[in-house]
Structures are given as C-alpha cells and as structure tokens.
Structure 1
Amino acid sequence: MSEITVRPLGEDEWQDYRAVRLEALRESPEAFAATVDEEEAFDEASWRERMKRSARLIAEQDGQAVGVVSVGTAATDDGADAGELFGLWVKPDLRGTDVATKLVTSGAVVARRRGESHLYYWVGTDNGRAVAFASGMGFRPTDERRPMGVASEDDGDEEIAMVLPLGHDPGVIGG
C-alpha cells in the first residue's frame, strides 16, 4: 500500500474539498446531517465560505482523496479556546487502517497551533466503534450530550462530547 499523507486545503482548493465531501455524503449518508442533494446545490461562493470557516484536511494516497476531516471552533460553556473535530470520513476499503488516525492527529495539531487547549469530537452514544476509536486517540467522555444531528437517525438518539487535551505534554497528541 502506498503512503497516506494528510494536508490542509486552502480556500482555492474548494473543489477538492467539494469532491471528497460529496463522495462522503454519497457513500455514508447516514453519518452526516446534510444530504448530497443539498450540498451539490451549493455554488462556488458557498464552498469558499466553508473553507474560511474551518480548517479542511484531506488524506491522500497516490494523489487520490481517501479521507477528510474538518476542524472548527467549539462553543464551550466555560469560554475556553477549544477546537471541534467534525465531518470525519474515510473510504470504506481503508477503514481500520491508519487513515482516520492520521486525520485526527493532524486535526489536533491544527487546533494546538491555533492556541486551542482542547479538541472536542461529538460521537453517537450507540456508535461503539467510534467511541473506542476516539478513546484510543486519547479523547475522554464528558457529561455533555445533545440530540443526534444526523437526519436519518431516530429521535432520542444522542451524541456525547469527547474531549482531547492539547497541552504541552510531549505524550499528548499535538503536544
């Protein structure tokens, strides 16, 4: 297998982000609050604005996109400077490899460089694989819960906020 690389996308690379985002929405519609039809209708200005709002990281293998994640700013009750990891997606044939790990690690580095002290990641409480993955990356569960934002989920399902400290400890991701 060829090496997996992760790189940030600039505003002018909105078409690269659009392509992998739409692929993610087509392949895993149940995992996202948006639909492919909604996002296909966005014009260039909308995509460029999205690129400005959050960091977009793309995982590539042999020049082809194989995964994506976004890093935005988290709204916290205590006003702390924290990032939020969202929109994580990896091509199905590469799940269980290190693609997601590389994306999350790179996302933590982005948040740390922005001066954020923590990185939040919302995970479905019934998604054992995602909770285990996040825990293995050093995220810890919080008491924060919210209704699932995914359009195809039944009412009542919840997400849990998991948080990763981004301190100066060399043993901490992004540290």
Structure 2
Amino acid sequence: MSTITTRPLGPEDWRLYRTVRLTALADAPEAFGATWADESTFPEEKWKDRLGRRNSFVAVRDGEACGLVGVVPLDSRVAGLVSMWVAPGARSQGVGGLLVARALEWAADNGFPEVRLWVSEGNDRAERLYSRQGFRRTGEVQLIRDGEDAEEFAMSRHAGP
C-alpha cells in the first residue's frame, strides 16, 4: 500500500509546481479560471512569485506528485482554497481529503476562521469531497471565465474542529 504525504511548496519548487499546475490545467480545464495556453507561457519568475504569494501544498505518492492545493488570504478573516487538483490515477484514494485538510490546517494556524472556495457546476465529485470536509454552498454563483457559459458556485466552512 502506498503512503501519501503532503508538503508545502516554496519558490525553489517552481519547476515541480509548474509541472503539476500545467498537468492539472490540461486534465481538467473546465475546473479552473485559468487556461493551460495562458499559464504555459509563464516565465520562471512568475512561477516563483506565485509560490511566494500563495501557500501551496503538493501531495506525493511513491515519489510522484499526485495533487495540488493552494490557500490564500482573501481578507483578515477569510482564506480561499484555490487550485485544487488530484491526478486521475490518485482519485478516490484520500488524496483530496489530505490536501483539503492541509489547507484547513494552514487557515486555522494562521487565524482564518473561514475558508471559501469555488466549484464548477456539475463537478459532483469535488462537491462531495468538500461537503465531507464540512463545506456548504453559500448561494453565490459566477461565471468561471468571462465570455463562457460555464458557472461555478461558492462553498464555505469554518476552519478548525
């Protein structure tokens, strides 16, 4: 049985972050507000800058990255869970739960009592994962990207026990 671990990513991990992020955008373009075409052109400094501003965590199984999540302050009391992705071969194996738990732990440790996120309409698997972690729909809905019909909805939960 494989052991799955999570660890933070820093600016020095920019190559790994770029690889995992671009893989996520290629695998599930409908789940993100960004596109592979846009982000694939980012220079090294942009990746490093993003990691310097964002608290990102990678899941690793058997030495291979298999998931990614970020958590960013939205205001003084609310953190946003962003860029959540689990590799197809690692889904339904607890990777998503570990990543969400890591993001919630970061939020609680850094004084953010609420964590919010957006889920693409129709992404039932993601909604079930977040619901198991205590997230609930807020009623807010927005377009994923300008000029497209795809929508996403907000979910929220309080960090901590």
TM, length-normalised to structure 1: 0.84
* Alpha-carbon distance in structure 2 between the residues aligned to 1:30 and 1:123: 10
- What one-letter code is carried by the residue in structure 1 that aligns with 2:79? G
Q: Is the 8 A contact 1:6 1:59 kept in 2?
A: yes
Alignment: residue pair count: 161
Q: Structure 1: how far apart are the matches of 2:146 and 2:119?
A: 11
Aligned to 1:82: 78
Based on CA coordinates, which of the two structures has the bigger radius of gyration?
Answer: 1
Distance 1:114 1:62 in 2: 30
User: Are residue 120 (structure 1) and residue 113 (structure 2) matched?
Assistant: no
CA shift, 1:29, in A, is 2.3
Which consecutive unaligned segments of at least 5 residues does structure 1 have?
none
> CA deviation digits over 1:140-173, x for unaligned, max 9?
111322222388xx42x43221111014xxxx2x
Which residue number in structure 2 is paired with residue 72 of structure 1? 72
Secondary structure at 2:111 match in 1: coil
Aligned partners of 2:142 and 2:152 also within 8 Å: yes
1:94 pairs with one of 90, 96, 102: 90
| Paired-residue identity, % | 39
Q: Secondary structure at the match of 1:126?
A: coil
**Does the 8 Å contact 1:112/1:166 carry over to 2?**
yes
Q: Which digits, 9 at most, give the CA deviation of each residue in 1:72-119, with x for residues without a partner?
A: 1225xxxx5111111111110111110000000001011111110111
1-side partners of 2:22 and 2:9: how far apart? 16
Q: Is the 8 A contact 2:30 2:120 kept in 1?
A: no
Deviation at 1:20, TM superposition (A): 0.8
Among candidates 99, 105, 113, match of residue 101 of structure 2: 105
Stretches of 4+ moved more than 4 A in 1?
Answer: none
Gap runs ≥5 in structure 2: none
> Does the 8 Å CA contact 1:32/1:150 hold for their aligned counterparts?
no
Which residue of structure 2 aligns with residue 42 of structure 1?
42
Partners of 1:62 and 1:142 lie apart in 2 by: 37
In 1, the alpha carbon distance for the partners of 2:85 and 2:114 equals 21
Do the aligned partners of residues 150 and 3 (structure 1) sit closer, same or farther apart at CA in structure 2, a change above 3 Å counting?
farther
Identify the range of structure 1 (127-136 vs 1-10) with the bigger mean alpha-carbon deviation. Answer: 127-136
Report the CA distance between 1:26 and its aligned residue: 2.0
In structure 2, what is the Cα distance between the partners aligned to 1:89 and 1:129? 12
Deviations 1:11-31 (A, max 9, x none): 111111111111112222222
Structure 1 CA distance for aligned equivalents of residues 48 and 115 of structure 2:
24
Q: Which residue of 1 aligns with 2:3?
A: 3
- What RMSD over aligned residues (CA atoms) do the two structures have, in Å? 1.8
Report if aligned partners of 1:68, 1:88 keep a CA contact under 8 Å in 2: yes
**1:22 aligned onto 2:15:** no
